[in-house]
Amino acid sequence: MPTKHAIAGLITRLHDPQYARWASQIRRTGGCRQPIHLRGKVEHYDRATGQLLHRYSTHLEPDGLLRVPCKTRRASRCPSCAETYRADTYHLVRAGLVGGKGVPETVASHPCLFVTLTAPSFGEVHSRREKDGRVLPCHPRRDAETCPHGRVMSCTVRHGTDEACLGEPLCPDCYDYTGSVLFNATAPELWRRFTLALRRHLAKLAGLTQKDLAAQLVVSFAKVAEYQRRGVVHLHAVIRLDGPDGPTSPPPAWATVDMLACAVQHAATVVTAKVPAYDGQPSRVLRWGAQLDTRPITLHGELTDQAVAGYIAKYATKAAECVGTLDRRIQPLENLAALPIREHARRLIAECLRLGSFDELADLRLTHWAHMLGFRGHFSTKSRRYSTTLGALRAARAEHRRDEQISTGRLPLFDEDTVLVVAHWQYAGQGLSAGDAILAAAITGVPVTHLSGSAGGGS
């Protein structure tokens, strides 16, 4: 039930003479959970005469504020803005598979694979296994050994899809938390070395030097990181072979899907990343897991362009919070034991903080990225020539909205070459009060539980 404070705020807003304008702002944010509050103005001047042609100021807006979407990619923070990010990522990825958004449709004929690079095992964890539509026991063993900590390393339970124990170690004291954290921290470097090794092996298979290969072939990709329930990242990537001019040019005839698959297999096997020695511990070499999935993308069948684009876009809006940890940084002196997180995630965070105290590991910035369980890379990235960009998609959307405002008379039509635009904006807060959140839910149709938890706005 709403609190008395929320009800009082709701009544005050409904009786505000500017309620209609406030509701219009809320609709334009699309149900943003934590809208940004801005104060300022925009003025349009004639470049030749200096005459003021148009002025917009937040002075006359409700509360003297303009509310705009937060534009976060994290679904845990704002489902509405994350959905926009997901849709943009979907179109970006799909354009690189079948064309569109400035990419020619001939790109669909280029050799292309959907690749999943996995993490190695750091200990047995509870998992849900299926075969032929049947759920199998987790880790059934007839003569299961007992670990040094007195736990039998077996589990015969058929776990459900949402059970809290999924991803938890069978024995937390045996689990290699150090290795898990260090793998996450080195995953971006492993990916970088993977792309280099991939190009080198393609050149070797083609009998060319790397310089000659670059003149005939370009490797394009789009990738996303996915957190497993055990707290380590897997990388899913679309890898495509293009001609020297990118997607607008076909690759050489000798560049085939089989050659690409062979190069991917080799690169995933040979690349390593070395973590320096620390606190008397020897240096450690990390590599990709033994499981490697490489599948061609087809226009029809199980793995279509739509399925791949949807899969990558879905994980572009998620992060470590799906493991049961936080979606914010751990503050100094914060009581780790009091955080509302899974015990497995708590131990991973504690290991990040412990390892981050060693000077030899300072470059990994484990303390800074403890809430991400050590992973410090970008969740979704692409090569320069893969397809369009998120910036281009956002610019097109902004241009569409501007044209819409001009056509409805809400914005004057100016010749951009003859108009000088002077803008001044100031950050004035973020979020919605409890009463405003209830009204926003009614206006936008976004459940109030997705809105009311945000911080109160104001200056």
pLDDT tens track for 295-349 = 999 877 778 999 999 999 999 998 888 888 888 899 888 899 999 999 999 999 9
Contact 352, 124 (CB under 8 A): no
The yes-or-no verdict on residue 294 having pLDDT over 80 is yes
> What percent of the chain shows pLDDT beyond 90?
73
pLDDT tens track for 356-375 = 999 999 999 999 999 999 99
**Which residues are CB-neighbours of 9 under 8 A, at least 6 positions away?**
433, 434, 435, 436
Q: What confidence score (pLDDT) does residue 192 get?
A: 96
The yes-or-no verdict on residue 429 having pLDDT over 60 is yes
End-to-end CA distance of the chain: 28
Q: What confidence score (pLDDT) does residue 450 get?
A: 44
**Which of 20, 22, 18 has its CA nearest to residue 437?**
22
Tell which wins on pLDDT, 145 or 406.
145
The yes-or-no verdict on residue 403 having pLDDT over 60 is yes
DSSP 8-state symbol, 300: S
Q: What is the C-alpha to C-alpha distance for residues 330 and 325, in angstroms, rounded to an integer?
A: 10
Most confident of 71-75, 108-112, 322-326: 108-112
- DSSP-H helix ranges across 62-127: 79-98
Q: What confidence score (pLDDT) does residue 2 get?
A: 79
> What percent of the chain shows pLDDT beyond 70?
95
Q: Which two tokens stand for residue 203?
A: 């050149």
- Model confidence band, residue 400 (pLDDT cutoffs 50, 70, 90): confident
DSSP 8-state symbol, 335: -
What letters, b where the CB count within 10 A reaches 16 and e where it falls short, cover 168-184? bbbbeeebebbbbbbbb
Q: Which two tokens stand for residue 406?
A: 């001009």
Q: Which two tokens stand for residue 126?
A: 């509870």
- In this prediction, residues 170-194 reach a mean pLDDT of 97
* DSSP per-residue letters across 391-441: HHHHHHHHHHHHHHHHHTTSS----GGGEEEEEEEEEEEES--HHHHHHHH
- In this prediction, residues 381-406 reach a mean pLDDT of 88
Contact 432, 451 (CB under 8 A): yes
- DSSP-H helix ranges across 271-389: 305-316, 343-355
- Model confidence band, residue 453 (pLDDT cutoffs 50, 70, 90): very low
Q: What confidence score (pLDDT) does residue 195 get?
A: 97
**Which residues are CB-neighbours of 35 under 8 A, at least 6 positions away?**
26, 29, 67, 68, 69, 70, 430, 431, 432, 457
Q: What is the CA radius of gyration of the chain?
A: 26
- Model confidence band, residue 428 (pLDDT cutoffs 50, 70, 90): very high
- Model confidence band, residue 402 (pLDDT cutoffs 50, 70, 90): confident
The yes-or-no verdict on residue 411 having pLDDT over 70 is no
What letters, b where the CB count within 10 A reaches 16 and e where it falls short, cover 392-420? ebeeeeeeeeeeeeeeeeebeeeeeeeee
The yes-or-no verdict on residue 458 having pLDDT over 60 is no
pLDDT tens track for 57-70 = 999 999 999 999 99
